[in-house]
Structure 1
Amino acid sequence: MTGTIPGPTMTPAAQPTIAQLPLIRAHEPERIAATLAARRPGRRPRSGERLMIIAADHPARGSLGAGPDAMAMADRTDLLGRCLEALSRPGVDGFLGTADLIEDLALLGALEGKLVFGSMNRGGLPGAVFEADDRFTGYDASGIATAGLDGGKMLLRIAPDNPGTMHTIAACSGAVNDLAERGLTAMVEPFWSYTEHGRLRNDLTPDAVIRSIAVAAGLGRTSAHTWLKLPAVPEPERVMAATTLPSLVLGGEVSEDPDAALATWEATLACPNVLGLVVGRSLLYPPDGDVAAAVDAAVGLL
């Protein structure tokens, strides 16, 4: 029949390729849930162990740039290939992403034995008038539990000059509660922010990061399952002394000086309540293009 899409040329047990993902989604969508249900879970860190988590939830916010290339993450086949390379490296413990990427990578077998965190609020699109009102348009706690994930990550930009911030704070508090009720980790990524020329900017001074930590740590009716995802900034000892919550260091923008970025991460990792790294574009799109070498260098810090 004209216009029909051919079915997948594979048995249900076969490992698909990236090119076969659209066919599975079109003809066997139930295979996604089955794959996630059968996935071998990751292992929580023991005392003294550090985590290396690859993050790739940027595209769902329309944030596709990495370094000088404003559309670096636009090619999904290329992005998946980079994620596969990063996740295959020794010492990589997990992945953080939205449902579309998590489902693709699960089908490709890349999440076996990995910790997986679902990205929750992706509605604060860069440059939008509603950016500070960061709605939960990705995973919710129920979906994270159903998919067998380890927790959910939420972005909390606290912009006192933008009334949309209050909705985001309240929504993040609710998400912390919903995840805690299910025994799942709430990974909160806070920033103290401000509006400049119509764009939301993050204040990365130590005092501003400390303020953001104080607000994030107090969200919800319990913090027993809350982790923080924090930028590496000057005076890491003073910054990390602001909380007893387990914390992970985020990678941020792609640096033109990877060695300097590694040194900044290393200084923050020396703090006793820092569990490890959650890094995305800095490792997936390194200046020299060598994903494996970038990941290995980061893992070496742990």
Structure 2
Amino acid sequence: MITDAQWRDLLRTRATDPAAIRDAYRSRRGRAGLLSAHDTLFLVAADHPARGALAIGDDPMAMVNRRSLLDRLLVALANPAVDGLLATPDVVEELLLLDALHGKVVIGSMNRGGLAGADWEIDDRFTAYNAQSIVDNGLDGGKMLLRLVDADTGTASTLESCARAVSDLAARGVVAMVEPLPYQRIGGSLALQTDAPALARAVGVAAGLGATSAHTWLKLPAVPHEVLDGTTLPVVILGGAPTGRPAEDLASWRRALTHPVVRGLVVGRSLLYPPDGDVAGAVTAAAELLRTGVPA
């Protein structure tokens, strides 16, 4: 938990010493490799606020309180089974100033311009990290969201931008983590397509982006094994929007983790805002699932 003194220091540093952030990037102690000793990867995700996605369940303000979000992230990162963080620059930098990212993998979130509920939501502009800043700041890779909507022309520009980012990251020798999700418009809302053909199509499109796939990872929902059969790229399973039914979430992740291309989990709101409020317990349950669920 962040003490009152730490919180005051963080706010003071933000206001009076912006160079401290540059110094914190430079002094961060990384780790030798991306994967754990068990060849798995477990990240907590916290890039939702930058896309205006603040709601959890019926609470539209659930993720608004930044001190609460950081407290929850500190609890999650304190678990030695958690390999690191996926987040936008603001969150990464706050945790750097709190000395919470030493020895952790850090993946920078890149395109957060498709604001939740906006008319242009599918045109996911790159508004956060770019490939050069990820390398300059000593991060381990970049993540991009690729929502595919055939009836929305914003998909085309997002495809092109993601392909360029994959190439730029690969040229610098760092991970490009692509999150391809097929959506369709129903009325005025976007709905995730969960059928195997749509998901498999999205996997194929994402795997082919960029000048090389040598550094590409895929971030996917807990898709059926027949979908995972469509790629040799390493995959991490995303948590998705909290369902309010943690046991069902764990069961779906467990099924996906048994496929040999799956290397781990990247989960945000489901672990940071569990229904019972026990962040440490939710993280421990997911870590145990990963420890026992991925084939050797």
Judge same fold: TM > 0.5, yes or no: yes
Aligned partner of 2:16 in structure 1 is 27
Q: Within 2, Cα distance between the matches of 1:255 and 1:213?
A: 24
Q: Within 2, Cα distance between the matches of 1:89 and 1:68?
A: 29
Q: Within 2, Cα distance between the matches of 1:76 and 1:82?
A: 10
Query: Do structure 1's residue 177 and structure 2's residue 167 form an aligned pair?
Result: yes
Query: Do structure 1's residue 41 and structure 2's residue 30 form an aligned pair?
Result: yes
Preserved CA contact (<8 Å) 1:131 1:200: no
Deviation at 1:192, TM superposition (A): 1.1
Q: Within 2, Cα distance between the matches of 1:41 and 1:231?
A: 28
3-state DSSP of counterpart to 2:247? helix
Q: Which runs of 5+ in 2 are unaligned?
A: 291-296
Identity of aligned residues (%): 53
Query: Do structure 1's residue 289 and structure 2's residue 251 form an aligned pair?
Result: no
Preserved CA contact (<8 Å) 1:86 1:295: yes
Q: Within 1, Cα distance between the matches of 2:48 and 2:93?
A: 16
Aligned partner of 1:3 in structure 2 is none
Preserved CA contact (<8 Å) 1:62 1:126: yes
Specify the code of the residue in structure 1 equivalent to 2:76: A
Query: Do structure 1's residue 90 and structure 2's residue 86 form an aligned pair?
Result: no
Q: Within 2, Cα distance between the matches of 1:136 and 1:242?
A: 28
Deviation at 1:47, TM superposition (A): 7.8
Deviation at 1:248, TM superposition (A): 0.2
Tell which structure's C-alpha radius of gyration is larger.
1
Aligned partner of 2:126 in structure 1 is 136
Query: Do structure 1's residue 72 and structure 2's residue 62 form an aligned pair?
Result: yes
1:297–1:134 CA distance, 2 compared to 1 (3 A): same
Query: Do structure 1's residue 152 and structure 2's residue 127 form an aligned pair?
Result: no
Q: Name the Cα RMSD after superposition.
A: 1.2
Specify the code of the residue in structure 1 equivalent to 2:13: I
Q: Within 2, Cα distance between the matches of 1:199 and 1:143?
A: 34
Q: Within 2, Cα distance between the matches of 1:135 and 1:229?
A: 18
Specify the code of the residue in structure 2 equivalent to 1:198: G
Correspondence 1:220-259 to 2 at 5 A: 220-233=210-223, 236-259=224-247
Preserved CA contact (<8 Å) 1:126 1:200: no
Preserved CA contact (<8 Å) 1:18 1:108: no
Q: Within 1, Cα distance between the matches of 2:217 and 2:40?
A: 14
Shift >6 Å, 4+ stretches: none
1:46–1:91 CA distance, 2 compared to 1 (3 A): closer
Aligned length: 285
> Which of residues 106, 114, 136 is equivalent to 1:116?
106
